Structure 1
């Protein structure tokens, strides 16, 4: 039998790179996509087929989909991992930055999925794994826009799961906790801007102090990669998989009354 095929987006670093490596080791035919081709050279050396993708650009998404269709027809699996975030109070974070977050995390992700889904549906099988976050279930001060994009992904994933079940395509959400990735470096400029705010600076300093403490226990990307592999291979997958440091907080946020949960967050981060 031929190796199952999978596209992993955001494969240049972190969770995406770890997932691509793991799936290569497990015998998958891996297509690894990201903006930075040079950063995926180690994956190419391991046998991945690396492809350029700017998720926020419609032409880039269409070109990638056309290349994949020419190579394999319908993919066996799609891992929607690519995403990014910026940090800041909702009052002060510029709306153009909020739109940029949504262009990648929501519209870009769905735009690519729309391009690749018809072939899966017509064949009658496939699996889509969307990488959300614990921030898709609860948010902290300063992470409202990033959290909103992940909340949106959770809703879209629920709808897709219901819409596609009859066509043999399973949709699964993976919700990582605190993971040792480049997220903090990517968000650093927006964090620094928030710290200089006269109105919210003190709050954001408390938020950063709390985040720094939590990140000292961050899980490695491989832990998420192993969960993604499980989501791809379970015969009857769950709708959601939690993994990584602090991921159990999702359960606590659902059990505790909102007023008590808010008090716990404020104590830590304000």
Structure 2
């Protein structure tokens, strides 16, 4: 670290994983710019001493202004945490293209844009770290959440390619792939009991998918907390030579091991258990 109070920019910091990361970095003596769109959460972060800013990461002009502000007032960003994003479930046939575009813009394009903005300063200083929050959903595919799998596979490619390109300049890029994380958004979705149109050809599948997801999430040690991810981020940032990618959560590691051992056909059969009529 170059100074006593290095500067961290954390996106998606008004809830869940991002908020936990921002607070833990603040406790580790970072000057944290925590950005998001929830006014109440921003006020809460501000009251705790973080530099909270309202920001839509898909608003390119607003993002440009914020990074320029940090550059002017603090000399640049030492640590970028790309955490902004949201899930998207549903059969691929029924996803609206506008929803899919929004998913890509928020989860993936914004992460690249922010990286492009902070990299010139990092290259000039010869140091800096970018941590991208991916998901084990970017390492395997299951039915019912194809859109989310697609964008998380994209984050894998972005992170690993960018890491190789900027390593010669002394800049580190690390990808964290958590298993399912119990955030307020996720628990709200799990607790919901939507009704399905009888004319919907995917109605039965959607119902069984929701029931299966609730059962799985209720299994002990399947899901982890945002604080678990936040602790992993701090360990990665403080590591002398971090690995390109980390899997967070025992259930995620077990799933990836199982996927590596099975053929595509065997994997598909396991995933469809309980989802077929």
Q: Same fold by TM-score, threshold 0.5 exceeded? A: yes
2:30 to 28, 31, 47: 28
Alpha carbons of structure 1 residues 266 and 36: separation in structure 2 relative to 1, 3 Å: same
* Structural mapping, 1:65-104, within 5 Å: 65-104=67-106
Q: Encode CA deviations 1:168-204: one digit per residue, 9 max, x unaligned.
A: 001100001111113436768x9948x4362111111
Q: 2: distance between equivalents of 1:118 and 1:70?
A: 14
Q: 2: distance between equivalents of 1:89 and 1:253?
A: 22
Q: Confirm or deny that 1:239 pairs with 2:244.
A: yes
Q: Encode CA deviations 1:8-62: one digit per residue, 9 max, x unaligned.
A: 1100010011111111112221110112233122222221111121011111211
Q: Confirm or deny that 1:257 pairs with 2:257.
A: no
8 A Cα contact 2:42 2:54, kept in partner: no
Q: TM-score, normalised by structure 1?
A: 0.93
* Structure 1: tracts of 5 or more residues without a match: none
8 A Cα contact 1:85 1:183, kept in partner: no
8 A Cα contact 1:177 1:242, kept in partner: yes
Q: 2: distance between equivalents of 1:191 and 1:86?
A: 17
With 66-75 and 3-12 compared, the bigger mean Cα shift is at 66-75
With 42-51 and 164-173 compared, the bigger mean Cα shift is at 42-51
Q: How many residues in Structure 1 have an aligned counterpart in Structure 2?
A: 268
Match of 2:43 in 1: 41
Q: 2: distance between equivalents of 1:235 and 1:191?
A: 47
Q: The residue matched to 2:246 in structure 1 has which SS?
A: strand
8 A Cα contact 1:179 1:245, kept in partner: no
Q: The residue matched to 1:10 in structure 2 has which SS?
A: coil
Q: TM-score, normalised by structure 2?
A: 0.91
Q: 2: distance between equivalents of 1:26 and 1:100?
A: 33
1:220 to 200, 225, 240: 225
The structural deviation recorded for 1:80 is 0.3
Match of 1:172 in 2: 174
